[in-house]
Structure 1
Amino acid sequence: MGTYHSTRSRTLACSSKDAIRRGLAPDGGLFVSDELGEKKLDVAGLADLSYHQIARTVLGLLLDDYTDAEVAACVDEAYTGTFASPEVTPLVGLDHAPDGGDVPTYVLELFHGPTSAFKDVALQMLPRLMARTGTAEGEAAQKIMIVTATSGDTGKAALAGFADAPGTGITVFYPEGKVSRVQELQMSTQEGGNVAVCGVRGNFDDAQSAVKRIFGDRELAKRLAERGVVLSSANSINVGRLVPQVVYYFAAYAQLLRSGAIQPGDAVEFCVPTGNFGDILAGYYAQRLGLPVARLDVASDRNNVLIDFLKTGAYDRRREFFTTTSPSMDILISSNLERMLYYVSGGDEALVASLMADLSNEGCYQVPEELHQGIRALFDGGWASEEQVASAIKHCWDENGYVIDPHTACGFHVLEELSAAEGARARVLLSTASPYKFPRAVAGALGLDAPADDFACMDVLARATGTVPPRQLAELSEKPVRFADVEDIDQLGAYVEQAAARL
């Protein structure tokens, strides 16, 4: 896909390298390409391809201004020796389908990377893609400051990917007190001379909105430019973060083919725990590229703004915000939904701009009925209360001897509630994090005596289930805390400027 532009206008046309370097379009929109889906990937040959080969094929289709050699180098650097599984994202079959039906269910384990969360798959790739962007058109050579808001997992995965990357700095903001203790320690103990981590007095939506304002602050951009620094993003608003996630949908299909569970052309249903809509949007991209998708199921926690939108066509963030045991999904403004609205509306950038203006000014928008029906043709979903999350963790363990984290449990519950999609030959639940990132929630759901200390709780969970906590999580308690900063929302721009001054 050679040309990218904003979801809200076509005033700026740029290459995928420029889109990745910029992160966010100048008008606040997200970068998209109208060429998505013009070229298809032949699924018949997937069974013979490794993860690396599938990644090279998918990235080559979506980022075609990168040379084959550049793509191959990025893939090798990102996925060689960095993931605990040779499959990178292995597929595990469950003994019993959650809905009691006869369509087999599988779990796609996305948590075998260096930070034990699905975002590693993309954030091991993004720094490699970013390093090969060169200088954006018309700009002098500059250093890149990555600025990211996180609801829990993106922050650490981005820090791990960008730590000490040449010519790059990274600043991560997280909602103070609204991530797990393990997640907080993963960020606050991060090593690297180019990193900065700061808690925010507010929730994730507050932090994410503040980061978007930072990107739109022209005076700040001017001051940073004088120091030779340009801003970019590692959130899933960056197309370079989104594209690598498309790969594991095809990798899941390849593993199903190799196991004989499906034949080429058979449709597969995917259930995706999501808050910011990036992980499931990658499944929509895969479908546009030729993957036979029976249905994409959105799984939400108590912050169920996406489910209400799917049912009614009305997106309304004016609601109570809940802090749950699945903090990475505690989101009321799902940024990547904007990309899906663009594509399903047939590329109506004026409509998207109008809807996003309504969201900003009024806190809500209503999509036209035709657009709503277009979304419903492929998407369904549901949400889980805290009690249902705990029940899903227990049910999955009792029925399958398989331990899942609270985010994955939201998806398991949705699969319990929804009958298999028509024509689906298999159902795949995307497991987005290791259960050891949330040991107290998981141990409590299993009826274990859960100590208040996360690391003692890891030991309890390991003994009870016969599983082993990832080394990088178990050793966190021994690492010194480097960052204890906490700022108000209106101080985040200044914090970024101070971090940039240290580059």
Structure 2
Amino acid sequence: MEYISTRGNYQKVNSAEVIRLGMVPAGGLFVPEDVPSLSQEVIYQMKDKSYQEIAKEVLSVFLTDYTNKELENAIKEAYNMNNFAAKEVTPIHKLNDRTYILELWHGPTAAFKDLALQILPYLLVQAINKVEVDEDILILVATSGDTGKAALEGFKDVDGIEIIVFYPQDGVSKAQEHQMITTTGDNTEVIAVKGNFDDCQSSVKEIFGDEEFNEIIAKEGYQFSSANSINWGRLVPQIIYYFKAYANFLNQEDIKPGDKINFTVPTGNFGNILAGYYAYQMGLPVNKFICASNDNKVLTDFFNTGIYNKNREFKETISPSMDILISSNLERFLFEMTGHDSNKINEWYQQLNEEGKFEIDNKTKEKIDQLFVGKFATEAETKEIIKDIYQEYDYVIDPHTAVGIKAYKEYFNSSEDKTKTVIDATANPYKFSSTVLEAIDESLLSSKIDEFKILEKLEEKTGVDIHPGLQGLAELQIKHNLNCQVDEIRAIIKKLL
């Protein structure tokens, strides 16, 4: 299999080169030239397979220049009981006859990013060996909260790789921040940026495309790569759990082979829901994707109007991992929806760069409408859903999952679509304990309570065990305390090297 650029500005390359580069050097993102398809028989046979076996099925058709042994080793090292507390890796919790929660947070950092970032280091190291790179790899990561810690955990102490994570100061939860700044490893750095996530992400993407700065880094013996979902190696492992979810339904006989299901995905950078779309392209029977946003509802407005407009107030919300106005992976999605029309992608993204907005054509909009719906939840609605789900089902969810449930409820009320629906639970509730505790029982929350004491309060109230990745977090020593302005990011990279 070969990969091409969404902007038609790079030669075809294999998957190892794609994973090594991270993104197209001249701008744009790599996508498979042709998406492989799986027969309904193969998908049906997954019902009796483990997560690891399904991972092999999915990865082997995309990463065709990796040997079976290389993939098997990466899968074995990534998806085991040492890294994931749940035997199924991504278990499903049934709320009612048509609503199911796909728990994607059983990895070491309590977020869905672990499902990709536990395996990416193995894929990247193998890619470096395949293309015989002499320089060390410098990974730059922009995070809205979860990617940062998951990437740090995956890459710490990996030979030949340095990693620098940039996160928006005051733009992540206290638990998320403490997870990052207490990370060990001789090859890790964490920087708080005085700005928002879009500032971090835009700066990192600009650096990747800055030839002069790349030359400076090369003289220091490094070349850039990415652990964000702009890197195909981050996105392709996420396809796995969509097939696993369908396999679980078949195994439990909740559906018959070929029956369609819906997926509701709390969405920021559009990577998670895009992985679901690639699964659909491969043959997974999907009826609708419900794209769920918080008050930064640039994607909801896009799906409703066909206009992507980032010219709006950036809001800091209680679901900070979704506080994004520039959804990078939408570019890949539009490239697929236009039949790989790089001319349209270049036109639209030039407009986005110059004017902060673009409008897609009617034909593309109509094609999107057949499969995707955009909905959003306000702050008050998010808290209300957390409380309602706890009271009705004795089940505790984080604010991002709550946004997903609210979006699905709104979709159901307007469509009366009774298709069984999976809602991606993207983070463990203890990562956002103060918000969750306040929603469940406001009387238990006091401004005088230490952030980490809230974990204990929430455990006492709900009886749900604190996630292993968050236990004892308060006792960990702070290892990173650097910060910078947005325009100082290049300078601080050079200083650290």
Question: Match for residue 4 of structure 1?
Answer: 3
Question: Match for residue 92 of structure 2?
Answer: 91
Supply the distance in 2 between the matched residues of 1:417 and 1:58 (Cα, whole angstroms).
33
Q: How does 1:321-360 map to 2 (within 5 A)?
A: 321-360=314-353
The answer to whether the aligner puts 1:35 opposite 2:34 as a matched pair is: yes
Unaligned runs of 5+ in 2: none
State the 1:37 CA deviation. 3.6
Give yes or no for contact 2:180–2:190 (8 Å, CA) kept in 1. Answer: yes
Supply the distance in 2 between the matched residues of 1:350 and 1:27 (Cα, whole angstroms).
15
Q: How does 1:226-375 map to 2 (within 5 A)?
A: 226-375=219-368
Number of residue equivalences: 491
RMSD between aligned alpha carbons? 1.4
Question: Match for residue 383 of structure 1?
Answer: 376
The one-character-per-residue Cα deviations of 1:102-132 (angstroms, maximum 9, x if unpaired) are x521100000000000000000011111010
The one-character-per-residue Cα deviations of 1:349-399 (angstroms, maximum 9, x if unpaired) are 111111111111110000001001111111012100000000010111111
The answer to whether the aligner puts 1:443 opposite 2:437 as a matched pair is: yes
Residue 107 of structure 1, aligned match among 101, 114, 118: 101
Q: Aligned with 2:128: secondary structure?
A: coil
Q: Aligned with 2:422: secondary structure?
A: strand
> Which residue identity is paired with 2:408?
L
Q: Aligned with 2:28: secondary structure?
A: coil
The answer to whether the aligner puts 1:129 opposite 2:130 as a matched pair is: no
TM-score w.r.t. length of structure 1: 0.95
Greater Cα shift, 414-423 or 339-348:
414-423
State the 1:422 CA deviation. 8.0
Unaligned runs of 5+ in 1: 97-102
Supply the distance in 2 between the matched residues of 1:450 and 1:457 (Cα, whole angstroms).
8
The answer to whether the aligner puts 1:56 opposite 2:56 as a matched pair is: yes
TM-score w.r.t. length of structure 2: 0.96
Q: 1:78 to 1:140 in 2, by over 3 A?
A: closer
Supply the distance in 2 between the matched residues of 1:270 and 1:49 (Cα, whole angstroms).
21
Greater Cα shift, 172-181 or 62-71:
62-71
Q: How does 1:401-480 map to 2 (within 5 A)?
A: 401-419=394-412, 425-448=419-442, 449-452=444-447, 453-480=450-477
Give yes or no for contact 2:9–2:26 (8 Å, CA) kept in 1. Answer: no
> Which residue identity is paired with 1:16?
S
The answer to whether the aligner puts 1:488 opposite 2:485 as a matched pair is: yes
The one-character-per-residue Cα deviations of 1:397-453 (angstroms, maximum 9, x if unpaired) are 111111000000001111211128787641101000010000110011112411442
Question: Match for residue 25 of structure 1?
Answer: 24
Q: How does 1:118-197 map to 2 (within 5 A)?
A: 118-134=112-128, 140-197=133-190
Q: Aligned with 2:154: secondary structure?
A: helix
Q: Aligned with 2:107: secondary structure?
A: coil
> Which residue identity is paired with 1:59?
L
Supply the distance in 2 between the matched residues of 1:62 and 1:304 (Cα, whole angstroms).
32
Q: Aligned with 1:318: secondary structure?
A: coil
Question: Match for residue 73 of structure 1?
Answer: 73
Supply the distance in 1 between the matched residues of 2:281 and 2:417 (Cα, whole angstroms).
18
State the 1:16 CA deviation. 0.6
The one-character-per-residue Cα deviations of 1:200-224 (angstroms, maximum 9, x if unpaired) are 0110001100001111121221122
Q: 1:306 to 1:365 in 2, by over 3 A?
A: same
Question: Match for residue 44 of structure 1?
Answer: 44
Question: Match for residue 99 of structure 1?
Answer: none
Supply the distance in 2 between the matched residues of 1:304 and 1:425 (Cα, whole angstroms).
25
State the 1:134 CA deviation. 2.5
Q: 1:40 to 1:171 in 2, by over 3 A?
A: farther
Supply the distance in 2 between the matched residues of 1:366 and 1:108 (Cα, whole angstroms).
33
Give yes or no for contact 2:301–2:374 (8 Å, CA) kept in 1. Answer: no
Residue 224 of structure 1, aligned match among 189, 208, 217: 217
Give yes or no for contact 2:163–2:188 (8 Å, CA) kept in 1. Answer: yes
Give yes or no for contact 1:135–1:142 (8 Å, CA) kept in 2. Answer: no
The one-character-per-residue Cα deviations of 1:163-216 (angstroms, maximum 9, x if unpaired) are 001110100000001100000000000000000000001100011000011111
Q: Aligned with 1:382: secondary structure?
A: strand
Supply the distance in 1 between the matched residues of 2:108 and 2:17 (Cα, whole angstroms).
28
Supply the distance in 1 between the matched residues of 2:19 and 2:352 (Cα, whole angstroms).
25
State the 1:228 CA deviation. 2.0
Q: Aligned with 1:418: secondary structure?
A: helix
Question: Match for residue 82 of structure 1?
Answer: 83
Give yes or no for contact 1:8–1:27 (8 Å, CA) kept in 2. Answer: no
> Which residue identity is paired with 2:21?
R
Question: Match for residue 111 of structure 2?
Answer: 117
Supply the distance in 2 between the matched residues of 1:48 and 1:175 (Cα, whole angstroms).
43
Greater Cα shift, 79-88 or 450-459:
450-459
